[in-house]
Amino acid sequence: GAVVSQHPSWVICKSGTSVKIECRSLDFQATTMFWYRQFPKQSLMLMATSNEGSKATYEQGVEKDKFLINHASLTLSTLTVTSAHPEDSSFYICSARVARHSTDTQYFGPGTRLTVL
Amino acid sequence: GQQLNQSPQSMFIQEGEDVSMNCTSSSIFNTWLWYKQDPGEGPVLLIALYKAGELTSNGRLTAQFGITRKDSFLNISASIPSDVGIYFCAGPMDSNYQLIWGAGTKLIIKP
């Protein structure tokens, strides 16, 4: 299968600071990556769709100036949480779309646990 | 937002028992995906289904794409402790491949 990595796996920061999370596709090129947020005991909530070389498409209710997404290459997308506050504490997960021949699916990274103090 | 109807919500079973869970939708899907998520980890793809009626296995796991394209089930045979986790079904919503998710089935195995 396809491998997606995330860095860091966890981060603790002070309120008001910015945090950058990296999502990399290790053995394939991903034209489309997705960023999710997950609260305890809930399924994944899509935040934005990131297409290489273009602006990300944000879901309703997700502030684009708060959650900056950059998909500068076919193997890297970054999510920056700007001026983080305690309510931004969550589990952030990225995924990459893999379309090959007759198959088309998403592979997920291991997630990043953000804690804002 | 839109969500797939996944059941059961949780299952308490004995080690060695078979497990069955399913997802239904009011809309037609062309792809059904089954993922497993362990605590503190991202979802891991178990099985992907692309054709109506398709039956696919991955070790002790078997999944089927319903003939109406509105449902899918996942079976786990002879469960073992490492099968514990939350299982999600998902289907792509549009051409950009945004996924619609089920609420998850939490599997708990009694030793």
Chain A residues with CB under 8 Å of B96 CB are 32, 49, 51, 57
Q: Is the pLDDT of residue A110 over 80?
A: yes
Number of Cα atoms under 13 Å in the Cβ half of residue A13 = 24
Of B3, B42, B90, the CB nearest to A109: B42
Smallest Cα distance from A112 to chain B, Å: 9
Name the 3-class secondary structure at A87.
helix
* DSSP state letter for A64: T
Q: Which residues of chain B approach chain A closer than 8 Å at the C-beta? A: 3, 31, 33, 35, 40-45, 48, 50, 88, 90, 92, 96-99, 101-104
Chain A residues with CB under 8 Å of B41 CB are 110-111
Q: pLDDT tens digits for A28-62?
A: 888 899 999 999 888 899 999 998 888 899 999 99
Alpha-helical regions (H) of chain B = none
pLDDT digits (tens, 9 = 90+) for B38-95: 999 999 999 999 999 999 999 999 999 999 999 999 999 999 999 999 999 999 987 6
Task: Tell whether A77 lies on the interface with B, counting CB pairs under 8 A.
Answer: no
DSSP structure class, residue B102: B
User: Helix, strand, or coil here: B81?
Assistant: helix
